Amino acid sequence: MANVANVDVPVTSPQAENGAASARSRCEPLSLSAKVKFGLCAVISFHLAYEFAVCAPLILLFLFCMFRLAHTATRREAMYLGWILGLLIYGPQLAFFWTIFGFGAIGLWLVLACWLCVYLMLQRFVLFKLPSPWAALSAPLLWTGLEYFRSELYPLRFSWLNVGYVFAPFPEAALLGVFGMYGVGFVLMLVAAQFASRRRILWGASLCALVLVGHLFNAVNKARASPPPPTLRIAGVQLEMESEAVVLKALDALKAKHPDAELLVLSEYAFESPVPPRVKDWCATHQRYLVAGGKHFLDAAEIRFHNTAFIIGPDGKEIFNQVKSVPVQFFKDGEPAAEQKLWNSPWGKIGLCVCYDLSYTCVTDELVRQGAEAIIAPTMDQQTWGGRQHRLHARVAPVRAAEYGIPIFRLCSSGISQAVDKHGNVIATAPFPGQGAMLEATLLSPRRGSLPLDRLLAWPCVAISIFMLGWHIADSWRTRRKRLIPDNANVSVS
């Protein structure tokens, strides 16, 4: 006689069932219509915030929608949703990529969209794994860690379109000088996530506490401010790929229009070589300092070079230079600088940022640590890249100036040139395309700048994001392995 016995049946414990039910309640998946509504709201609020200064607070709505969109049924769904949102957000904002890179622009848009994918997947994972209060508190840590990593650390870093840049028109109101551009994103995501999780008390308390801390920090900094150094009268003229003769005529016109300017500035790549002898002679004749971009060749064939900002003294001799620290990817933009240093000018310590160097806090922070009291940024933004690119790039200088509390003079080849005071206010500007347009300002600054709070916060956020990503990968691998290995059934036949 044969009978079947000892069949092992897997049993789920009540604790495991309760845990699964609790996780489902914390991350109840959105319906299709809800995902469409939150997705459209995220895209529209982001574009309005970047397009119109009065709509900048809508960036909080964008972050609220991103947190809610993490409530998806599957990891794959979160990934696809991130790509769609990324293309709808970054594609229109960076449409000029198509002019520069052609079909390659699609790949770059997708690379940026990947960071939204990663955020949505990690936030969804945390919602399943952690209790609701901790899941909401994790949102600003994940958002800030990923924003900092994609903007500052990996090879294709690109800092534009961060939450903090939305507030470039009014940096003091956003407390950029206290929290920094990444810190502003942290604070707003904290508020958005608490509100999305319906924890109104924590939402209000966290907002009030952060604003209070910010104002106290700002007050202490102002109380410690030392008397300003001698004022610097500075002027520049916008020229793009002009001949040496045209440059000399423009310098004559600049001196005639602004005779009191002690330091004159030309753009990045004002020359295809070091500053020519005739231009040096002009400086000696007219007793003027000059900052101008050019190339310092590293080989006889003139293939390898450093993209360099040169400073010519009133005696006609080169007295300082700074190589570009972060050459732009996919361009023939030279080799990176071996070091950063400050120019000990007659007006104090001045840092030089060549074009996109100003976009990276990893570059500008070092100048401030060395004691920079002002920054000059010769910049090349080609006319063919369009007005949208120039307007986006013009958001950088006000944010940097407000973060460090030092003035910045940014002279572009075709606009938008800016003189920004230590509070982030644009006190003078020259338009796009504006060939031959001139810019003049008197810069005042404290004795030295300081770093905002987010520079202390960024690295812990990156570490937590990496930890969560590793946990997510390990958990996914373990789940997949359980699915591939069938349950053992011990069947005995007698």
Residues 349 and 325 in one domain: yes
pLDDT over 70, % of the chain: 85
Residues 205 and 69 in one domain: yes
- Count of domains for the chain: 2
Residue with tokens 């000696």: 284
Note the Cα 400 to chain centre separation in Å.
10
Token reading at 164: 């903090």
Residues 186 and 329 in one domain: no
Q: Mind listing the pLDDT tens digit for each residue in 425-480?
A: 999 999 999 999 999 999 876 668 889 999 999 999 999 999 999 999 998 888 87
Q: What is the pLDDT of residue 481?
A: 79
H/E segment holding residue 292: strand 289-297
Residue 201 in domain: yes
Range of the domain at 52: 14-223+453-483
Residue 1 in domain: no
Residues 144 and 185 in one domain: yes
Residues 216 and 249 in one domain: no
Q: Mind listing the pLDDT tens digit for each residue in 235-270?
A: 999 999 999 999 999 999 999 999 999 999 999 999
Which three-class secondary structure state does DSSP give residue 489? Answer: coil
Q: 166 phi and psi, to 5 degrees?
A: -60, -30
Q: What is the pLDDT of residue 179?
A: 92
Residues 299 and 192 in one domain: no
Q: What is the pLDDT of residue 230?
A: 65
Q: Is the pLDDT of residue 486 over 80?
A: no
Show Cβ contacts of residue 263 under 8 Å, excluding neighbours closer than 6 positions.
232, 233, 234, 235, 288, 289, 290, 291, 345, 347
Note the Cα 183 to chain centre separation in Å.
11
Summary mean pLDDT of the chain:
87
Residues 81 and 194 in one domain: yes
Nearest C-alpha neighbor of 325 from the set 298, 296, 352, 343: 352
Residue 49 in domain: yes
Residues 147 and 260 in one domain: no
Residues 146 and 169 in one domain: yes
pTM, 2 dp: 0.87
Categorize the per-residue pLDDT at 132 as very low, low, confident or very high, splitting at 50, 70 and 90: confident
